[in-house]
Amino acid sequence: MERSTAAKTDASQATLARVRAIIAGSAGNFVEWFDWYTYAATALYFAPIFFPEGDQTAQLLRAAAVFAVGFLVRPIGAWFMGLYSDRAGRKAGLTLSVGMMCFGSLVIALLPGAATIGVAAPVILVLARMLQGLSLGGEYGASATYMSEVAGKQYRGFWSSFIYVTLIGGQLMALAVLIVLQKTLPQEAMESWGWRVPFVLGAALAIVVFWLRRRMEESKSFTAGRAAGAVKTSARMLFREHPREVLTIVALTAGGSMIFYVYTTYMQKFLTNTSGFSRETATEISAAALMVFMFAQPLYGWLSDIVGRRTMLLAAFGIGAIATWPLMIAIGSSTSAWAAFLLIIVAMLIQSGYTSVSAVVKAELFPTQVRALGVALPYALANAAFGGTAEYVALWFKANGIETGFYIYASVMLAIAFFAVYTMPDTRRYSRILED
């Protein structure tokens, strides 16, 4: 009886420790993505300030180009921070990344417009976004690795899905802050200084998270690997010893991240620029849809612990490849906010089969000594090429009068991801995370 009680106590303590670790890892992820998405959420307001020439589409196109630049440097951040996290620890990498993101947000918050400092304004904006890109390039690999390692074998899909809960939560908070500002400030104030408030808030929250992350406990996988004298990782070793895993992640990310950014960051502009909704209505639709999307992640993650990661991915990419064209056509022609909202929800729930298991699938493909780099670098490379450019490519098609061409492009990328998943093993059964 005493032994049974002690076992239950140990199990409860282990669960509590796991929950604390997940909270510690996900809180910083939430703030980092809030800072990152604040740029996309407020672009409708600051685009004319930093890029005053041209019509609305031209201004948004330039702002989207800067958004893409932030993605282009993410592979560098993934390489550096991935190596750092595999050598110094997940905790060290996560702490450094949030400090870099804080500084980038503060720069944007205080940056004068083109009318005040001329061409220096967009140049500094690009540099600040590059710093944030370096930060986020390392954040994803370190946080996905850390949360997957501390999640435990039985419910690894469920617990690790919280990386996308906090990722979406950060975006949702960015939109929520924007909605509050839109409701409380007049239009003139929003266009002149109100859009800066979320960047100030993001910098302040990052300072708090920096302190929290310094108190995190290291994962057992990393400490066990270091105790065993694991070989120091390098990008050369990653590509030489794990080429199939790298290519798999590139293909998954190319389709998954591209469509994720279509339905999250670009959709707000699409609803305004194509469907014809006001900026306020578009923001509210996007925020409500993201709320449903966020709460769906743990459910889908739990389901992956039952049916497997591969099944979830095949459904997401297969159905997505078929449904993208009709969904985008229907959303673009919507005149009802409710109709647009429901259509976006359908699209997001389809893609939840990818987002909910994205982190854990990547982490389960690699051994401990190369895991953070293996998760971060191929993801960042594909994300830069396809995720970060999704909004720019969509606007380019629209500017050239062939908007539906983008729907074909998106469907093709999802089909490629589907075939990549078809050739991979189910990582739930063949995980390389050995510690429970």
User: What single-letter DSSP state applies at residue 113?
Assistant: -
Distance (Å, whole) CA 69 – CA 266:
16
Distance (Å, whole) CA 79 – CA 413:
25
Domain range annotation of the chain: 21-216+232-422
Amino acid at 230: A
Question: In the CATH hierarchy, which fold is given to the domain comprising 21-216+232-422?
Answer: Growth Hormone; Chain: A; (1.20.1250)
Distance (Å, whole) CA 362 – CA 245:
8
- Contacts for 130 with CB less than 8 Å, ≥ 6 apart: 69, 70, 73
Whole-model pTM over 0.85: no
Find out whether 176 and 291 touch, Cβ atoms under 8 Å: no
- Contacts for 244 with CB less than 8 Å, ≥ 6 apart: none
**Percent of the chain, pLDDT > 70?**
91
pLDDT along the chain (436 residues), means of 10: 51 65 76 82 81 72 76 83 79 81 88 84 85 82 80 82 86 84 88 88 84 72 65 79 92 94 89 88 89 94 94 97 96 93 97 93 86 86 86 90 93 96 87 70
